[in-house]
Amino acid sequence: MATDRTPESRVDVCIVGAGPAGALMAAKLAGQGHEVVVLEAGPRFESDQRLERMERAIRPGIEADVWDMGGDRDAYTSDGDRHYPLNVARVKGVGGSTLHWQGMVMRLHESDFAGTVATGEDPAWPLTYDDLRPHYSEVERAFGVSGAADNPFAPPRDGPFPMPAFPPSYSDSLFAPACEELGISMHSVPNARNSESYDGRSECVGYGTCQPVCPSGAKYSADVHIETAEERGARVIDRAPVQRLETADSGERVTAAVYATPDGETHRQEARQFVLAAGGVEIPRLLLLSRNEAHPDGLANSSGLVGRFFMDHLFAGAGGTIDEPTRQNHVGFLTSETHQFYDDPGQAVRDRDGNVVVPATDEPLAPMKLEFFNYAGPSPVELALSGDSFGDELLDDLRDAYGNSIAMGGLVGQRPDRSNRITLDASTTDDHGNPVPSIEWSLDARTERTLERANAIQTAILDELGVDISWTVGPADTGPGYHHMGTTRMGTDPAESVVDARLRTHDVANLTVASSSVFPSSGAMNPTLTIGALALKAADHVDADL
């Protein structure tokens, strides 16, 4: 039986994108009695196929992408100082990026909302932490977050986490005395995965393949709330990529989302309110594709900032080997980190006797968070496949190469720069003949300084631990966290931003953007919890408008 992908005749809200923001908004708005349609460019991925997809990820010799990314549908180009590997870590489908995310969910700090007053490099947000605080609690309950209130640097919260934190790993216990010697505080990592049964989903069973797939369902993915939305009456149409948004002659309101279907047909979904929840690359692309006489430079782009200020988080890391077993276990997620250097990255690091190990600096730096890895060694499967030995000799070789590696990682926030942007590349088209997104991306001096700073602190901890450091990832060879931010930035001035504090576009009265694309600055925290909190807040505003 063919799937019906024809439009609904009466709709209150049309949501573009079935990732975490779109799913949360659909579930909440449908629960408030509104008629909701969700248009998702990718397919549904059935839960009973998760084990097969996990096997695809870990079995040698299988080159097919776990989530079927690639080809003309997902084509892009990259320009600027650095190539941006867009398709390495995105998913088009019901559930979006949460199908393959690591699941770490931290709240932004109060300082992130205030911006950097001294240098002005990070603009203030048009809302405060307290404005978002109740929605942070709401989204933690929705996701199911395991955590503990043991982080002395975290912003204030109301009440405990929904579930207790995962216990520290064995390798965390190895880091602990070195950090204590250097006065560095370790604390737990909030995770959107079940440490016990929650919301009808089992506790984590330790497959260790959280990225790119959790076969047990213990890690939250947005298809959970898509199912909730459908139970409440919402309709979700998959494999329905939106080609453009149409507006009334005045351009003040969106009248329809024009989408394609696999049978080659094109349809128009009309609605009273529209929400874009398709991520920090596809949202600006769609707005630029929707240019018309009333919006000649792209929809909601009177500021000229649609697509500009593209930001990501940059990876910093260091590791090596230690003369004792580390009991390596590819848990798949982190259990300990430190935010000690988040608000004050230039502070000195001293040992127990007061000797300076990492000198203080007053140079402008970005926020950073540092992570203690549970798994840092080579893959024994890859070692076996690439080696020349067999049998007992192979076993001895694996024992020599595996089991005493240890490492740290971390994320550094990127400064917003208007030259980093998403544009349309008409020289390359997708499977429907539309220009593909082009990413212009480079790193600024502040980000590079902060990466060097993160490496210095990581090296100090590893040296204290007695690690023979064999690798470091810093400014020259860093890579992105695949957290797409800033391309429809939030602000009070329509000339300097795309959306306002309630995430409605300045130019179009019935168009809301729910995504990290609205972030004015990047911070250094994984963004999904903030995306969810903003989406739930925006749902309240859309509900009030209806």
Asked if the structure places residue 463 within a domain, the reply is yes
Whether the predicted pLDDT of 520 surpasses 80: yes
SS3 category, 250:
coil
pLDDT in tens, 376-391: 877 777 777 777 888 8
pLDDT in tens, 251-309: 999 999 999 999 999 999 999 999 999 999 999 999 999 999 999 999 999 999 999 99
Res 50: pLDDT = 85
pLDDT in tens, 158-199: 999 999 999 999 999 999 999 999 999 999 999 999 999 999
* Distance (Å, whole) CA 361 – CA 352: 20
DSSP state of 87: G
Whether the predicted pLDDT of 120 surpasses 80: no
Sheet holding 273-276, edge to edge: 235-237, 36-39, 13-16, 273-276, 511-513
Where residue 312 falls among pLDDT bands split at 50, 70, 90? very high
Asked if the structure places residue 365 within a domain, the reply is yes
Whether the predicted pLDDT of 202 surpasses 70: yes
pLDDT in tens, 457-474: 999 999 999 999 999 999
Res 6: pLDDT = 96
Residue of 325, 328, 334 lying closest to 167 (CA atoms): 334
As for how many domains the chain has, the answer is 1
Whether the predicted pLDDT of 437 surpasses 70: yes
Whether the predicted pLDDT of 62 surpasses 80: no
Whether the predicted pLDDT of 1 surpasses 70: no
Residue type, 28: K
Asked if the structure places residue 468 within a domain, the reply is yes
Where residue 118 falls among pLDDT bands split at 50, 70, 90? low
Where residue 368 falls among pLDDT bands split at 50, 70, 90? very high
Asked if the structure places residue 402 within a domain, the reply is yes
Asked if the structure places residue 5 within a domain, the reply is no
Res 57: pLDDT = 80
Asked if the structure places residue 1 within a domain, the reply is no
Whether the predicted pLDDT of 55 surpasses 90: no
Whether the predicted pLDDT of 208 surpasses 90: no
Contact 485, 311 (CB under 8 A): yes
Q: Could you give phi then psi for residue 173, rounded to 5 degrees? A: -65, -25
pTM score, whole prediction: 0.96
Asked if the structure places residue 145 within a domain, the reply is yes
Whether the predicted pLDDT of 329 surpasses 70: no
Q: Any idea which of 23-27, 59-63, 419-423 has the lowest mean pLDDT?
A: 59-63
Q: What percent of the chain has pLDDT over 90?
A: 83
Whether the predicted pLDDT of 245 surpasses 80: yes
Whether the predicted pLDDT of 418 surpasses 70: yes
Q: Residue 511: which domain range?
A: 13-545
Asked if the structure places residue 77 within a domain, the reply is yes
Where residue 117 falls among pLDDT bands split at 50, 70, 90? low
* Distance (Å, whole) CA 506 – CA 252: 10
Specify the higher pLDDT residue, 388 or 36: 36
Sign of the Cα pseudo-torsion (11, 15, 16, 20, in order): negative
**Average pLDDT of the residues of the chain:** 94
By DSSP bridging, strand 36-39 and strand 235-237 are parallel
Domain harbouring 416, CATH code: 3.50.50.60
Q: Which residues pair with 135 in a beta bridge?
A: none
**Which residues lie closer than 8 Å to 433 by C-beta, 6 or more apart?**
none
